[in-house]
Every structure is written in C-alpha cells, then in structure tokens.
Amino acid sequence: MYAIISDVHSNLDALRAVIDDIRKRTPSVGILFLGDIVGYGPEPNECIEIIKDIASFLIAGNHDWASVGLTDIEYFNPDAREAILWTQNVLRVEGSEFLKGLPLTAEVGDIFLVHGTPKEPQDWHYLIYLEDAEENFNYFKGNICFLGHSHIPFIIERAGDGSLRTLGKRVKIKSGSRYIINPGSVGQPRDRDPRASYAILKGDEVEIIRVAYPIENTQRKMKTLGLPRALIERLALGR
C-alpha cells in the first residue's frame, strides 16, 4: 500500500492535513513523492524536513531544481519566478543540499515515478491530454506511472488493445492494462477544488482523495512574507 503525494509547494498546512488523513487510514504506509516540495508557498524548509522524513521514494520537480539553480527560471511566469527567488533566499543549507540530490525519476517495483513526462523528464512538459499520454506509455516499464506537475488529478488507462480512456476518482487496476495517474497537488490544486489532493494505492485499487485544510492560515503567512498576491488568491479558488 502506498500514498502518493505531489506538488506540495511549501504549503505546510496542506501537507499536515494530508499526512493526518493518511495516518488515519493506516499508520504504516509507504509514501511516494512526485516532486515540487518548494516554490509558491510560505514554508519551504519545514516542508523539506517533513518530506525528507516521511517519503520512502522521492524525485525532483522543476521548482525544487529551480530553487537550487539546477534548472532555468526564464520560462517561469513572473509570480512563480518571484516566489523562487524568495525561496532561494530563505532555504537553509541542508535543505538546498537535499533538493540538489533529488533524482528525476524512480522505479518502485512495477511503479514508475516522474514529475513531468516519462519521455523527457528533464524538460518539464505537462501531461494533461490523452494524446500526450498515448506517446508516453512507451517510455516507462511496469504497469503504473505516477506523475505530477499539472496539479490536475486524473487516472488514464491504456487497455490491452491499446485504447485509452480517462477514469473516475476510484479505479480497480486491471492486470492487462497500464496506467498514468496524477494524484493532483497537495499545496496548490488547479482543478477548481481548493482542497489538497493525493492518491492511495491499496491492493489493486487506486483512489484520488481530497482533504480540506485551513487555507486562510496559509494565505495569512504568505501575505506577511510579501509573496505575490495572485499566488495567495489562487489557493482559495483551486486554480
């Protein structure tokens, strides 16, 4: 059994709520982390400490690498860039060393982990549509790929005959099929549901779970620290 979490983005309140929810369901679960511990939010060091402690397998996201100078921030939008520069200033040495050591992909038995796409992990492309998924099924082994980056939860199934479809929030894994699954974002959901999002894989069942957290609390901290207004407002809108 695994809990799969992604895109925490320095949102400690959301991360705590998700961990509480996971622990309530089961005290012993492996946690797989799909990248972007930091960026956007107010508590990067605290989130690094927790993820470091609880994740059994973890990989880098573009914001993790950007905040330690490993990837260019030219293509970041101005608010995201401002938050990265702020993060670079407040990151503690242990935290940045830790982020520098994160790999781009990981394999956990039959499960493949990547932040952007299996085809080009280092280029941070988004995988959102079925046509993007189709090609990417050729770039990982095993039957399930978990990925993040878009902050939009989904489950895509490729049946034995090659046909693709998007499924609901709770799915039984079939032995002849393969899957690309985005658990959504813990710290900055973008599917118009502001609650934190993560996934549980238990036996042959995968489920996307939503958890409410005190958004105003996070917004207050961001305001005090002078983080960009649009980043504060979007948390309540889930976009």
Q: Residues in the site for Zn ion, rule: CB under 5 A?
A: 7, 36
Query: With helix as H, strand as E and coil as C, how does 111-149 read?
Result: EEEECCCCCCHHHCCCCCCHHHHHHHHHHCCCCEEEECC
Q: How far is the CB of 63 from Zn ion (least distance, A)?
A: 6
> Quick one: tokens of 28?
């012993």
Q: How far is the CB of 28 from Zn ion (least distance, A)?
A: 28
**Residue 36 vs 43, nearer CB to Zn ion:** 36
Cα–Cα distance for residue pair 220/218, rounded to 1 Å: 5
CA distances from 155 to 28, 86, 197 (A): 25, 34, 13
Q: How far is the CB of 61 from Zn ion (least distance, A)?
A: 6
Among 43, 58, 52, 42, which Cα is nearest to 4's? Answer: 58
Among 142, 180, 139, which Cα is nearest to 158's? Answer: 180
Phi, psi (rounded to 5 degrees) for 156? -110, 130
Q: How far is the CB of 60 from Zn ion (least distance, A)?
A: 11
**Residue 36 vs 191, nearer CB to Zn ion:** 36
**Residue 134 vs 193, nearer CB to Zn ion:** 193
Q: How far is the CB of 8 from Zn ion (least distance, A)?
A: 9
**Residue 7 vs 157, nearer CB to Zn ion:** 7
**Residue 15 vs 173, nearer CB to Zn ion:** 15
